[in-house]
Chains A and B, each alone.
Chain A
């Protein structure tokens, strides 16, 4: 069973909106005292897990093998990141390296966009895939840099490439579906 283009676009719109809500929840300050480094919102890990399940479902519906593989790996990364974040935010698992879970998830998901291009060089939307991958990788690297420097700005600069990625994910399939 394969899905028509409009259904694929709808799935991308939904995942883009979910990701946009996730990053705004994570990185926009909630009040004068709260910063992104102290976020304990359970919305974020749940959104990651739900997103992981949604992406993983492509394995069932895709008819191109590299789409199946890459989407499965995206789902795995999102599910693992969501599970670790859920454990940290519930306070049942505290390790220093949990701070880099989200940045590493961004970087690795971004790299998979580039891998997607490499294994399917004739595929449509190569430039957009590259742009989305680079946006995610830039966001992850900016977050890693922020953590390494020990700074916690009220609104991290990585929010810009992350928001760009989410908006591209929402907007680009519009052209494909119309």
Chain B
């Protein structure tokens, strides 16, 4: 139980990343280009945002 709670961030992160990947496969992603102004559009898509939040959570779960 305690071990599960201590790893809850990691579990939620994995769920978010998996959800984002599935969402991207189902819905598809748009590519706007690699110019600095367009990279924001490339990243600001719901499936990718879920993956980014999941990655952030992985990072925050490993810092200490």
Interface size class on chain A is: 20 to 34
Return the CB mask of B1-42 against A: 1 if under 8 Å, else 0: 010011011001000000000000001000000000000010
Interface size class on chain B is: 20 to 34
Q: Would A24 and B57 count as touching, CB distance under 8 A?
A: yes
Q: How far is the CA of A14 from the CA of B40 in the complex (A)?
A: 10
Complex interface: stretch among A15-23, A78-86, A90-98: A15-23
| Minimal beta-carbon separation of B43 from chain A (angstroms) | 9
Q: Would B60 and A30 count as touching, CB distance under 8 A?
A: yes
Out of B2, B44, B45, B53, name the residue touching A20 (CB < 8 Å): B53
With A13-B49, A174-B46: A24-B64 Cβ-Cβ less than 8 Å: no
Seen from chain A, the residues whose Cβ lies within 8 Å of a Cβ on chain B are 10, 13-14, 16-17, 20-21, 24-25, 28-32, 43, 154-155, 170-171, 174
Apart from A24-B53, A28-B9: 20 A-B pairs, beta carbons within 8 A: A10-B44, A13-B46, A14-B44, A16-B49, A17-B50, A17-B52, A21-B53, A25-B60, A28-B12, A29-B5, A30-B9, A30-B60, A31-B6, A32-B2, A32-B6, A155-B8, A170-B46, A170-B49, A170-B50, A174-B46
